[in-house]
Structure 1
Amino acid sequence: MKLYLDPGHGGSDPGAQGNGLREKDLTLDIALKLRSILENNYNNIEVRMSRTSDVTKSLAQRTNEANSWGADFYLSIHINSDKGSASGYEDYIYISLSNNSATARYRDIIHNEVVKLNKLNNRGKKKADFHVLRESSMDAMLSENGFIDNAKDAALMKQDSWRRSVAQGHANGIAKAFNLTEKKTPDREEPASGSGQSLHKVIAGSFKDRANAEQQIADLDAKGYESFIATAQISGETWYRVQAGAFLNRENAETRVKEIESQGIEAFITTE
């Protein structure tokens, strides 16, 4: 899957401004975090960005590049503004597309995942005649991640952990929409069948609400710990466990628990 990732504005175009923030800085930071999450955690995805630094790039240059590359999906990251009176998250697809189109189905999935983690008022799913939606030859979506001139939204934007959560929400949506498979990492490797070895799994939280588990994953990622959700059936109920490592050596698992708990997050070990 080829994703063209477009951080809005840049260079001589700062985008929206407010509360000491510039849209171009926020969109780039979120997009870089998103690229990192996708490339580090999923198979069969290639990400190309319209910009990876503070440079000027026209809208035509962005869509021409995505079209020439043959991207499968175009995702444009933006921050909104409206004289300080509005707040929240919304996203857009091209105005002429039906709600049953493939683009709309992809957007529906991504939208649902983003709003689980972004702590913003949900302003809904919309349509518009934006250049990047109109001139891109692939399915395309533009997300507006809060209002920079709203004090409450801006307070969130100033937090690195919030920007990482927004990136994580987009990543979760893209992974679900395009059926991406997670990469195996050394911390996730299972012992060979019949080896007789025990596997010590580090659990950094167990939740009934999946959204809470996903927020925990975002918080752990912000602290440098990769994790994922593993479901468990307890007394007939489904719990969403956040697994932050699995080790053949229990001492390594105990070390991981101590590291995570030093960050103010409780953790424990299950052995299988």
Structure 2
Amino acid sequence: MKLYLDPGHGGKDPGAQGNGLKEKDITLDIAKRIRDKLLKDYEGVQVRMSRTKDTTKSLNERTKEANAWGADFYLSIHCNAFNGKASGYEDYIYTGLSRNSRTANYQDILHREITKVNGLSDRGKKSANFHVLRETRMPAFLSENGFIDNSEDAKKMKQSSWRQKVAEGHAKGLAKAFNLKGKKSAAKAEKKNEPNSKRTLYKVIAGSFEAKKNADNQVKKLKAKGIEAFVDTVTISGKRWYRVQAGAFQNRSNAEKHVADLKKKGFQSFITT
């Protein structure tokens, strides 16, 4: 599944503002968490983000990029604002689609999973003539994750644990909508289908740290260079280490090529199985 993940606003466009928060910052943080969750936990997922930093990008640039890439789904992350009193969660698909459409079915699934975990009042499933919903060739979905100018919603937005829950709700909804296989279940399926063979996964580790914050910093450096990575933990001789995984391959030669590419970009790495 090819997901085009679009954190709303960015750069010169801060989006909605309130309670010391800017929409562009909240949407980027949630979107990155969605990406990381999907890549870490599910098989067969490709993610392209409209932005990974606080950069300006037009709506037209976003939809053109998604269309040219041939994405299977367009997910746009936003926060709402109104009069300081309105609150809650709502999501949108294109107004020209029927409730029997494939996109509406995806909305049903995503809405259910997100509202299970976000702790916000449910304002319902809606439709609109937004650019990113209208100009995309693939099914598109836009979520409004609370009202930034509402003090109670803003309290939640300020909590990293809440943003993580919201991201996980989106990721789980996508997994159910597209029947994604979890990496553990996929490994079990392979073992069941090939009982007499052993499959080795070659993991590329771009750093191993005693402190998680150092591993997190390494992940940021890798992602700044366009390299997907996440932090995993391993216990060696009773001591916990935080490893930065920057790839996993079934073919060792592919892993070795990736190690060479990382070295060219200034990152020393090694292969573990």
Task: Calculate the TM-score normalised by the size of structure 1.
Answer: 0.69
Q: CA deviation at 1:58?
A: 0.1
Identify the residue that residue 146 of structure 1 maps to in structure 2: 146
SS state at 1:184 partner:
helix
Q: CA deviation at 1:85?
A: 1.6
Identify the residue that residue 49 of structure 1 maps to in structure 2: 49
1:21 aligns with 2:21: yes
SS state at 1:119 partner:
coil
Identify the residue that residue 213 of structure 1 maps to in structure 2: none
Identify the residue that residue 210 of structure 2 maps to in structure 1: none
Identity of aligned residues (%): 65
Identify the residue that residue 87 of structure 1 maps to in structure 2: 87
1:123 aligns with 2:123: yes
Q: CA deviation at 1:170?
A: 0.2
> Residues 7 and 38 (structure 1 numbering): CA distance in 2 closer, same or farther, change over 3 Å?
same
Letter in 1 for 2:163: R
Identify the residue that residue 157 of structure 2 maps to in structure 1: 157
Identify the residue that residue 62 of structure 1 maps to in structure 2: 62
| 1:123-153 Cα distance to aligned partner (Å, 9 max, x none) | 0000000000000000000000000000000
| 1:224-272 Cα distance to aligned partner (Å, 9 max, x none) | xxxxxxxxxxxxxxxxxxxxxxxxxxx98xx99xxxxxxxxxxxxxxxx
The separation in 2 between residues aligned to 1:189 and 1:91, in whole angstroms, is 35
| 1:170-226 Cα distance to aligned partner (Å, 9 max, x none) | 0010000000000029xx989x99xxxxxxxxxxxxxxxxxxxxxxxxxxxxxxxxx
Letter in 1 for 2:29: D
The separation in 1 between residues aligned to 2:42 and 2:107, in whole angstroms, is 19
Identify the residue that residue 199 of structure 1 maps to in structure 2: none
Identify the residue that residue 104 of structure 1 maps to in structure 2: 104
Identify the residue that residue 177 of structure 2 maps to in structure 1: 177
SS state at 2:71 partner:
coil
Identify the residue that residue 3 of structure 1 maps to in structure 2: 3
The separation in 1 between residues aligned to 2:104 and 2:84, in whole angstroms, is 29
The separation in 2 between residues aligned to 1:97 and 1:71, in whole angstroms, is 19
What is the number of residues matched between the two proteins?
196
Unpaired stretches in structure 2, ≥5 consecutive residues: 193-236, 241-273
Letter in 2 for 1:123: R
SS state at 2:166 partner:
helix
Letter in 2 for 1:4: Y
The separation in 1 between residues aligned to 2:188 and 2:65, in whole angstroms, is 38
Q: CA deviation at 1:116?
A: 0.3
1:73 aligns with 2:65: no
Task: Calculate the TM-score normalised by the size of structure 2.
Answer: 0.68
The separation in 2 between residues aligned to 1:119 and 1:189, in whole angstroms, is 34
Once the two structures are superposed, the pairs formed by residues 198-213 of structure 1 within 5 Å of their partners are none
Letter in 1 for 2:24: K
CA RMSD, 1 decimal: 2.3
Unpaired stretches in structure 1, ≥5 consecutive residues: 194-250, 257-272
The separation in 1 between residues aligned to 2:129 and 2:117, in whole angstroms, is 27
Letter in 1 for 2:108: D
The separation in 1 between residues aligned to 2:110 and 2:45, in whole angstroms, is 16
Once the two structures are superposed, the pairs formed by residues 244-259 of structure 1 within 5 Å of their partners are none
SS state at 2:137 partner:
coil
Letter in 1 for 2:78: H
SS state at 1:6 partner:
strand
Q: CA deviation at 1:83?
A: 1.4
Identify the residue that residue 223 of structure 2 maps to in structure 1: none
Letter in 2 for 1:65: E
